[in-house]
Structure 1
């Protein structure tokens, strides 16, 4: 029996799918046994770059069969699995830790660290897409009304790294991270992107550093307002100028250095959600106001905010842009989903305008009257600093925090966020491994190499 075609063109008899009886223990064993058969097929094949067409069809069939079985298993057991991994939801595991625990406790449900590492030896286009299996699990957990909110809470807790750095930041008002600089000035925490070599594009490192910086700003009692701004960059065209963000680092995406978990998911559940909803300080408290630390956020947009950079603007309380800047969400052109941009941009601008931006690639110049839909204030470059200071002063007023909390609650209820992100987890990881996206990324990378 086989999961798909073999190099020998003889008749194929597919392996029947596993039978699940509804009991967690026996269904776990059935899933593990079934997935092991598929892994045996894959182990007998050469790496993807070396496979012929028939071998690749065999690999694709093995993956498809295992993924169908995982979906059926999770359709029955998501909450039970999550309760096992979190001791009945008494422990809060961050998403990377949750996936590692699932790989150890439920064989075949998600890829092991070893399988992920073997996939990471290749560029994105040459991988088997093991992260797709992580996406199936993440989507199922987030879709659950029981497990999903608990995972969201886990990702709103301060990171261990921020806790370790907190005393020093409180004492010095400064934290230098590899790709982010955090400085306390008065009652504002200024977060400056320092990925100068790539126009402040987002990557795994920036995501980790930015969450640490956001945690520190929210934990420091002396801070009332956070400010995001891009630092000066090295690009010849913009040498020495501030740039807010060029979005996802497409070179890293091509090379397989953009992680589904540590970038795509942690980014949405981590620093972006913390800026929007606040930092979870007491998971046991009842009222949301007693559980979280919330502060206002200002974005100062110099030059441009593309892709993920524009997505950050959608959770800000005040957006200030220099008059020659522009913003865009070129998701359709890149072939991927712009995070929660589809949810949040529609709320801010209306459906027709959002479709023009996301599906049509419309770029919004700050000189365009429609810029008011995504930006609060447009000023000359020399007035940016003073405009930011005014915003910090206004948003630091005592009543602002309570009102922003109520606005956010009305605009994006937690269940809306969670259910959207459940679909995003499955859709985005599939797009990241789709042929059209990989071809576009490769074409851009080759173009970039030719220019250097």
Structure 2
């Protein structure tokens, strides 16, 4: 058999002129040439080292071209996609529109459909290109603030369910139960088979649940609590949250847009800053509906579970509960934990938790920097009811709003999320992460 020479690509970076339409055509042509090279290669899992290096060269060059294009045109691109900011597409829809309007700027729908057929280690990493786009949008004060506003608006699903919830006081979502008790809305996580770990379903249900609580005039306080789980180590016990579902991450089922970005810009930011209900109002207090939140931590709050505690107004933990942010050990970034944790613990302890994975007992002196009250499991119900009564006082909502303004100005959050968008998605495809999650969490069988 005659050996076949591997394909090559003579990379000449595109020359951008500063005109949006001309530069968009130049970028599209450059990326299309790179994609032509990729089509000559076998699937990633079947490539030899030479073929994989060529693929990486193509992706690297195309990503550099995208960054250069966005550095010149991100605000003009955003305005095109949002009708000069008159429309408000949520982040996944915004990126889908970018794929249609500006070919080559972000992966196409077909390319992302193909990616979803593989476990994380076997993907091309096209979500990195989505991350480049999201980071550029968020770095722009104009576009970034508009996107944050968009993601603070009620979801269409919550608006459909609102009347029924306000009438019955109950919303039975797949992974979250919402119940109105007096003037509190209690949100109970129900991912029992995985210790209430966060997956795409839970994130979507949690945003709907938060919207329902904030839209209901009868609700003055929100409560988060984990439901009972079926794990043999915690039979019949409540568990707050085990954080991101690492098995789903290994399987390629933790999407960048719908999970990693929508979680931070969606329900967590709504809990912290409020639900945007009047875009035309000048004052933030008139534009949003914000309410205080209580967290009841049974067993543990790990990873994303601990991140939630950093935006709550009252945290109650049972005696044996603990907190941890093991993201650095896993190789990823703990959401906005790096932005918020040091405000509660101080910089030194925050570094021990984030960089070294230090576990904090709720009953310890360090734990009392993260939670407000430690109670016996039998006393948790009374402690929740007491917190709801105290936080339901009329002046609480106004004061917590001003605390939020002082603690975390909107532009600080926006700039952090811009860096997060670029860093987290690259980490999710890094060799050390893929090795760790693959070794521990890969399910038997072929790619999905």
Shared fold (TM-score, shorter chain, > 0.5): yes
* Counterpart-to-counterpart distance in 2, 1:28 and 1:442: 38
How far apart are residue 8 of structure 1 and its match?
2.5
1:417 to 401, 413, 416: 413
Aligned length: 443
Which runs of structure 2 are paired with 1:45-84 in the superposition (5 Å)? 45-84=41-80
- Partner of residue 31, structure 2: 35
* Counterpart-to-counterpart distance in 1, 2:24 and 2:354: 41
* Counterpart-to-counterpart distance in 1, 2:166 and 2:65: 50
Which runs of structure 2 are paired with 1:51-450 in the superposition (5 Å)? 51-445=47-441
Asked if structure 1 preserves the Cα contact closer than 8 Å seen for 2:9 and 2:34, the reply is no
Q: Which runs of 4+ in 1 moved over 3 A?
A: 446-449
* Counterpart-to-counterpart distance in 2, 1:172 and 1:188: 14
* Counterpart-to-counterpart distance in 1, 2:45 and 2:234: 38
Return closer, same or farther for 1:120/1:408 CA change in 2, 3 Å cut-off.
same
* Counterpart-to-counterpart distance in 2, 1:386 and 1:444: 40
* Counterpart-to-counterpart distance in 2, 1:339 and 1:118: 27
* Counterpart-to-counterpart distance in 2, 1:16 and 1:441: 37
Asked if structure 2 preserves the Cα contact closer than 8 Å seen for 1:193 and 1:230, the reply is yes
Secondary structure of 1:222's counterpart equals: coil
How far apart are residue 307 of structure 1 and its match?
0.1
* Counterpart-to-counterpart distance in 1, 2:254 and 2:42: 25
Return closer, same or farther for 1:367/1:448 CA change in 2, 3 Å cut-off.
farther
* Counterpart-to-counterpart distance in 2, 1:446 and 1:134: 25
- Partner of residue 5, structure 2: 8
**Residue-by-residue CA offset, 1:295-343 (whole Å, 9 max, x unaligned):** 0000000000000000000000000000100010011110000000001
How far apart are residue 67 of structure 1 and its match?
0.3
Secondary structure of 1:146's counterpart equals: helix
Secondary structure of 1:397's counterpart equals: coil
C-alpha root-mean-square deviation of aligned residues, in Å?
A: 1.4
* Counterpart-to-counterpart distance in 2, 1:325 and 1:350: 21
How far apart are residue 15 of structure 1 and its match?
2.2
Segments of 5+ residues of structure 1 without an aligned counterpart are 1-5
Secondary structure of 1:237's counterpart equals: coil
Return closer, same or farther for 1:398/1:132 CA change in 2, 3 Å cut-off.
same
How far apart are residue 444 of structure 1 and its match?
1.6
Asked if structure 2 preserves the Cα contact closer than 8 Å seen for 1:142 and 1:418, the reply is yes
Segments of 5+ residues of structure 2 without an aligned counterpart are none
| Higher mean displacement: 366-375 or 407-416 | 366-375
* Counterpart-to-counterpart distance in 2, 1:42 and 1:208: 34
| Higher mean displacement: 47-56 or 422-431 | 47-56
How far apart are residue 14 of structure 1 and its match?
2.3
* Counterpart-to-counterpart distance in 1, 2:109 and 2:298: 40
- Structure 1 length normalisation: TM-score? 0.96
* Counterpart-to-counterpart distance in 2, 1:356 and 1:172: 46
Asked if structure 1 preserves the Cα contact closer than 8 Å seen for 2:251 and 2:443, the reply is no
How far apart are residue 47 of structure 1 and its match?
0.9
**Residue-by-residue CA offset, 1:230-288 (whole Å, 9 max, x unaligned):** 00001111011000000000000000000100000000000000000000001111110
